[in-house]
Amino acid sequence: MKTISTENSHGGTQGVYIHRSDACDCDMTFAVFLPPQAKARKLPVLWYLSGLTCTHANVMEKGEYRRLAAELGIIIVCPDTSPRGDAVPDEPDNWQFGKGAGFYVDATEPPFAQNYRMYSYVVDELPKLIAGEFPVDMDRQGIFGHSMGGHGAITIALRNPERFSSCSAFAPISHPSVSGWSKPAFQKYLGSDDTAWRAYDACSLIEDGHRFPEFLVDQGTADSFLEDGLRPEELRQACETAGISLRLRMQEGYGHSYFFISTFMEDHLRWHARRLGD
């Protein structure tokens, strides 16, 4: 692991780092915010997964999480959204696929299977690196994210309920197997057999018996992707059928951007903090 940059912020440190990833077969960049309490003890960790076209930098620069994370004593880790590099296959003219659009799946289809293994990267490889390099209490982990990253957070929590104490999302892609902007990506990453897609689809995972105690989801009513891309009502229905507690808050007039995310970031951090304990 190499340090790209560190900056003091709210008594803590915002760092950006790079390392060679075996899962993605390329160099990967990530950001970590260490609150001031990290100088004295291990702290809970909250993973933030970003959306389409984003890198680690979007939430780091526009998410407005550091002041409250410093107050609450929570470490925030922000991975990239996909593998990077000249050797990584891509569709440069397609913002819904390739670099910046890893969808937090382990691709099985060539040529993408060699690099696009974001599920394994986020669930296995990066946590091992973080646990070895930073003062994190790995018994207290939460996960959240936005859009494609909200999809990633919910599916990862459903598949790893013993690991995470909390999960929330901003405008998640709730049913990517049928969503207009994720279904084509699933076909290219995972093949034409849609039964293989179910492991990365929140509604399908719940239907197949996966469970997580509760979710908090915020969704803007003015989000242009609401009906086709995000489908929050289908997540609500799946959770109601399965008896999973879902607090779905439809936020009047809000869109899909970081103006929306930063507005409700404090609510999410406090919600996680209550579940991560101290």
- In the chain, what are the domain boundaries? 2-276
Q: Report percent pLDDT > 70 for the chain.
A: 100
Q: Using 50, 70 and 90 to split pLDDT, how confident is the model at 135? A: very high
Amino acid 4: pLDDT:
98
Is pLDDT of 131 > 90? yes
According to CATH, what is the number of the domain 2-276?
A: 3.40.50.1820
Residues 197 and 111: their CA atoms lie apart, in Å, by 18
Q: What is the pLDDT of residue 128?
A: 98
pLDDT at 180 over 90: no
The answer to whether 56 touches 31, Cβ cutoff 8 Å, is yes
Is the predicted pLDDT of residue 278 greater than 80, yes or no? no
E strand or H helix at 216: strand 214-220
The pTM (predicted TM-score) of the whole model is 0.97
Q: Distance of CA 33 to CAs 66, 114, 126, 203, Å?
A: 7, 30, 15, 32
φ, ψ dihedrals at 267, nearest 5°: -55, -45
Distance set, CA 82 to CA 26, 122, 124, 138 (Å): 10, 10, 15, 24
| In contact, 261 and 170? CB cutoff 8 Å | yes
- Tokens (6 digits) for 80: 């990239």
Does the pLDDT of residue 21 top 70, yes or no? yes
Query: For the residues 55-71, what does the mean pLDDT come to?
Result: 98
Q: What is the per-residue burial (b if ≥16 Cβ within 10 Å, else e) of 216-248? A: bbbbbeebebbeebbbbeebbbbbeebebebeb
User: What percent of the chain stands above pLDDT 90?
Assistant: 97
**Closest C-alpha to 52, from 155, 126, 131, 150:** 150
Catalytic residues: 147, 223, 256
Q: What's phi and psi for 54, nearest 5 deg? A: -85, 165
Mean pLDDT of 112-128: 98
Q: Is 234 helix (H, G, I), strand (E, B) or coil?
A: helix
